[in-house]
Chain A
Amino acid sequence: MLFLIRIYYGGVLMKKNTGIIDRLLLFTLIPSFFIALYLIFIWSPVERIMGASQKIFYFHVGSAWVAFLAFGVVGYYSVRVLIKPRLQHHINAGISAEIGVLFTTITLITGMIWGKSSWNTWWTWEPRLATTLILWFIYVAYLFVRKMDGSTDKIARLSAVFGIIGVINVPIVFMAIRWWNTKLHPVVFGEGKNQSGGGIEPDMLVALLFSIFTITVLYAFLMRKGIEIEKMRHIVKKAKSKAIEKLAG
């Protein structure tokens, strides 16, 4: 609760024009989180074979979606950095990558727990698992590129280049691993092996879509906060170097 209050006051103290959107996001986020929890744990039916452990599915799919979305955002802003180098785009791409690492980690961990309970194995080399793991490694590599020392201009350019290459790589990784070995993961939506997919109960679908919505709002909220903090960091850095210059001069 204290955390939420601090986030709230942080929002209030910010510049007025951005504050409204942030508050709007926060006030959608909190109730929808409770509604999502209700829908997941009480309202939606319990899966027949997997039982209660299937509930992790809602968080798993939601965070996986956000993980891939965040990577798409990194790619988008990387292209924009190269077209027109602006600090804003560079910051956006970096924050999106950081949140992406967080959600990829959540996806991997929830996936492992679920896999242990339903497949009786922590890990299996299956297309989506392996793609997510490789995605995680690419994200971390991207953050390493951003941590390089040098001028901000240079790092913005280099990390944008790496971001683009990484985004190009993800679909290829997925195709390669899909051909390599496809066995365990149920194909819930779209074409499966028999072009129909396993299907999903309507109630579960509602809960799933709502939890995906909630986690996406969380992503947007974290994104705005992160960008704001990063901007402040840049302002402080500038002020610091100015002060040092003054003292030295």
Chain B
Amino acid sequence: MILILKDAWTIASKDLSNEIKTKQTIGMMVIFSSLVVLIFSFAFDPTNNMVKAVIPGLVWLITVFSGILGLNRSFLSEHENDALTGLRSAPIDPSSIYLGKVLANFILVTAVQIVSIPVLFLLFDYRFFGKVSWFILVVIIGTLGFIIVGTFLAALSANAKNSEMLLPVLLLPLLSPLLIAGVQATRIILENEVIADASSWIRLMAAYDLLFLAACFFLFEFIMEGS
């Protein structure tokens, strides 16, 4: 198990150092998520008071939209020079490839969120009343679930020619319970209602994370197998 984690960290650090060098994906993701906020400010008049109600949903929309861009890259970039075959033939467990990619994508998307969520609150002039620690907890659990399923499906759809189009079609229906729970929990925390109400949603998200982490962990070798 420790070996798997060690290999996973090696793969994640390879991806991250690659990203730090080029800064292509992360830059694109940050710009794209800011653009989504901009477009939404046209769609919903930001001077309107009603817009406060859609902020919790927007947090998740920008995460998912910009995240999909990063997820698409994470396995497609391995197709260059057929690096995926190299990974596959390396003397490591296929699950560690998965865990490494999850780790790298999670760090990437979290880095984007650190910029994009404050930008969202800033541009919509959102006054934050709830507890910041709870909000961060919900965002982390939700993003983790998104990345767990997203990385898995990115690996799956990377086999197709039109993988950029296929990934959202596969991913969004599977994400729906997580998004419902995430939006509800975020709304409760941001509006500073009773935190206990949010805890059942947080538990649902945690259960989703664990269940899909286990399922994807075991099924991943079937995706990597063969050609």
Q: Does A157 contact B (CB under 8 A)?
A: yes
Cα separation A140 to B169 with both chains bound (whole Å): 9
- Is the Cβ of B223 less than 8 Å from the Cβ of A165? no
Partner of B170, one of A82, A144, A149, A177: A144
Q: Which residue of A lies closest to B156 (CB)?
A: A158
Q: Which residues of A contact B166 (CB under 8 A)?
A: 144-145, 148
B185 to chain A, nearest CB (A): 11
Q: Does B215 contact A (CB under 8 A)?
A: yes
Interface string of B190-227 (1 = CB under 8 A from A): 00000000001100100110011001100100110111
Per the CB 8 Å criterion, the residue count for chain A at the interface is: 31
Q: Which residue of A lies closest to B174 (CB)?
A: A169
Q: Which residue of A lies closest to B201 (CB)?
A: A179
Q: Does B159 contact A (CB under 8 A)?
A: yes
- Is the Cβ of A168 less than 8 Å from the Cβ of B223? no
- Is the Cβ of A172 less than 8 Å from the Cβ of B211? yes
Partner of A144, one of B161, B169, B176, B226: B169
Q: Does A3 contact B (CB under 8 A)?
A: no
Partner of A166, one of B174, B181, B225: B174
Of A149, A154, A176, chain B has the most CB atoms within 10 Å of the CB of: A176
Partner of B160, one of A82, A148, A166, A179: A148
- Is the Cβ of B172 less than 8 Å from the Cβ of A168? no
Interface string of A58-70 (1 = CB under 8 A from B): 0000000000000
- Is the Cβ of A141 less than 8 Å from the Cβ of B219? no
- Is the Cβ of A169 less than 8 Å from the Cβ of B216? no
| CB<8 Å pairs between A and B, sample of 20 | A137-B173, A141-B170, A145-B156, A145-B166, A148-B159, A148-B161, A153-B226, A154-B159, A158-B159, A158-B223, A161-B219, A162-B153, A165-B215, A165-B219, A168-B215, A169-B173, A172-B211, A176-B176, A176-B181, A177-B177
Interface positions of A (Cβ within 8 A of B): 82, 134, 137-138, 140-141, 144-145, 148-151, 153-154, 157-158, 160-162, 164-166, 168-169, 172-173, 175-177, 179-180
20 further A-B pairs in the complex, CB-CB below 8 A; given A137-B172, A153-B226, A165-B174? A138-B173, A141-B169, A144-B166, A144-B169, A145-B157, A145-B170, A148-B161, A149-B161, A154-B159, A154-B226, A154-B227, A158-B159, A164-B215, A165-B149, A165-B212, A165-B215, A176-B176, A179-B204, A180-B180, A180-B184
